[in-house]
Structure 1
Amino acid sequence: MKTNLRPLSAADIPACAALQNAAYLPLYREPAEILASRLTVAPTCCWGAFGGDGGLTAYILSHPWPAAAPPAIGTALGAPPPGDNWFIHDLAIGEAARGLGLGRALVRMAADAALALGLVRGDLIAVQGAGGFWARMGYADPPHLPAPLAAKVAAYGPDARYMTVRLGDLKA
């Protein structure tokens, strides 16, 4: 499958929402305007993979955000406070595009953009059993979660894992 990687644009958000609906359980599905707020906050950190027909096959939405303070599901973002942390909101790979290495490629593109913004560490909440993928990328579970963070992570579902990485250690 021929694939083109490029930064996402506002015109791609409806396709992102459709792919999110196909890839994620209902708990994790968000309206297009929520996804668009991530693109507005950090357009250089949001990338898509497009097939030969131009259709979106995978995407990553990521942005600067304070460490250990992930936004709640369904929260529209405003400007992030200053800091050095990169948060991955969403990585979705369409069924037909799985196994092609697009996840790693999109993470690398977004991470390079994060580094260019001066961000040096990252965090995310792995859901739907994705913790193993993120561990292979260099992410790890911190030894202890403060109670407020543990409660926020629990809202992402029973298998949710808060994971962190130093961007220099990322294996994408």
Structure 2
Amino acid sequence: MKIQKIEEKNWVGILEIQDSAYHEVGLEELEVLKSKQSASPDTCFVCVSDRDDVLGYLLAHPWSGNEPPKLFEPLPDVVDSDSIFLHDMAVDPHSKGQGIGRSMMEVLIKVSVRKGVKRIILVAVQDASRFWSLLGFKEILGANLYPGYGKNAVLMEKVLTAS
């Protein structure tokens, strides 16, 4: 398996994984997902099998402040940001437990540090905050979250250090 930039042919697999992963939050349109890649192609990628099947994907983009973007809307232009918002990371249910999520996060961290990013922020949905805590993310208390993120959604951040 390998992690690479998203190609047009990967979007079908990404949509299938999104459909299997997000039963509480709902699905975003292809145009909305593609807006993340358009904003930051270096921080959006897929993990593919040797047969080129999409096993997982990660969409992240520059963002400012502690209020995350709304779901279901194309990304607005963001300038002068030292943060990356990890919009979405999901793994095919048949590929879980193989370290795909961790591997994609390692790539995101390397790219982010190289770009001078100071932190990665995300909204943990569907009770995923424990998973993100294991990867070094900490809750941002008092966050104002868009209701579309679902109940028990938690805004989290990981501060990056240059290496």
Q: Are the structure 2 counterparts of residues 26 and 161 from structure 1 closer, same or farther at C-alpha, using a change threshold of 3 Å?
A: closer
Aligned counterparts of 1:82 and 1:11: Cα–Cα separation in 2: 32
Unmatched segments (≥5 aa) in structure 2? none
Match of 1:23 in 2: 21
Residues 63 and 114 of structure 1 are in contact (CA less than 8 Å); yes or no, is this contact kept in structure 2?
A: no
Residues 10 and 39 of structure 1 are in contact (CA less than 8 Å); yes or no, is this contact kept in structure 2?
A: no
Question: What is the count of residue pairs matched by the alignment?
Answer: 162
Match of 1:71 in 2: 69
Q: Is the aligned partner of 1:162 residue 2:155?
A: yes
Higher helix share: 1
Give the 5 Å matches for 1:1-172: 3-25=1-23, 27-142=25-140, 144-145=141-142, 149-152=143-146, 154-168=147-161
Report the identity percentage: 25
What SS class does the counterpart of residue 11 from structure 1 fall into? helix
What SS class does the counterpart of residue 123 from structure 1 fall into? strand
Aligned counterparts of 2:24 and 2:63: Cα–Cα separation in 1: 24
Residues 24 and 150 of structure 2 are in contact (CA less than 8 Å); yes or no, is this contact kept in structure 1?
A: no
Matched residue type, 1:162: L
Residues 17 and 35 of structure 1 are in contact (CA less than 8 Å); yes or no, is this contact kept in structure 2?
A: no
Question: What is the deviation of 1:151?
Answer: 4.2
Aligned counterparts of 2:8 and 2:65: Cα–Cα separation in 1: 26
Aligned counterparts of 1:29 and 1:124: Cα–Cα separation in 2: 17
Unmatched segments (≥5 aa) in structure 1? none
Q: TM-score, normalised by structure 2?
A: 0.92
